[in-house]
Amino acid sequence: MSSSVVPVYAQGFFIMSRLGRVTQIVVFDYYDPEKYYLSLLRRGSLEEELSRIEENMQYFLDEERVYINGVRTYPKVISTTLSFRGDVTRPYITFIIEFSGPIRAGLNKYEDYYEEEVVEYDYEFTWFFPEGWRVRGAELAVPYEIIEDRVLVARVKKGTKVGPYEAILFEVGEK
């Protein structure tokens, strides 16, 4: 990625299945005034750059320690794409990531240990749990809200210190 490409916003969506598979969709928005990504597209070297970006994302995921109910799980990038919002100075990169862990009736816990950092841009993340399940609480470095008992939403402002741990407690009424 060129140094002229600046991250401006990110969104993450985590969708938990009844079997404990999490599909994570993460979208990073950038400002690219020098049209770096457009130049790669025109030269036919965008796929090479996306492959490198995917490897970098996988490296950072491998540095995290993610657990579901105490069992370590290993998030894996399965897709990386680039597109533009409105014009070529506003690219965004979408990652699709998957991981899974054991789910049981009653109280369950997702945990993530990662390097503490100060956020460089605003972002938000949303967790969606199956109907009939309930979010019971979370340990996050940022405020969050629970919607309809099964959706957790957190918004993080630039400059916020996050990490090194987060957890979400959720109750499974039916699997």
Distances from the Cα of 71 to the Cα of 53, 66, 101, 117, 168, angstroms = 28, 8, 7, 25, 14
pLDDT at 175 over 70: no
pLDDT mean across residues, the chain: 96
**Structure confidence at residue 2 (pLDDT):** 64
**Structure confidence at residue 16 (pLDDT):** 98
Across 150-167, average pLDDT: 97
**Structure confidence at residue 120 (pLDDT):** 95
Q: What angle do CA 143, 145, 147 make, to 5 degrees?
A: 170
Whether the Cβ atoms of residue 49 and residue 32 lie closer than 8 Å to each other: no
Residue at 49 is within a domain: yes
Residue at 108 is within a domain: yes
Residue at 10 is within a domain: yes
Structural domain total, the chain: 1
pLDDT digits (tens, 9 = 90+) for 23-82: 999 999 999 999 999 999 999 999 999 999 999 999 999 999 999 999 999 999 999 999
Residue at 1 is within a domain: no
Q: Which domain holds residue 81?
A: 6-172
Residue at 114 is within a domain: yes
The C-alpha atoms of residue 91 and residue 38 are separated, in whole angstroms, by: 9
Residue 129 has φ and ψ, to the nearest 5°, of -110, 155
**Structure confidence at residue 3 (pLDDT):** 72
The C-alpha atoms of residue 155 and residue 10 are separated, in whole angstroms, by: 10
Q: Which residues pair with 107 in a beta bridge?
A: 171
Hey, is 58 helix, strand or coil? helix
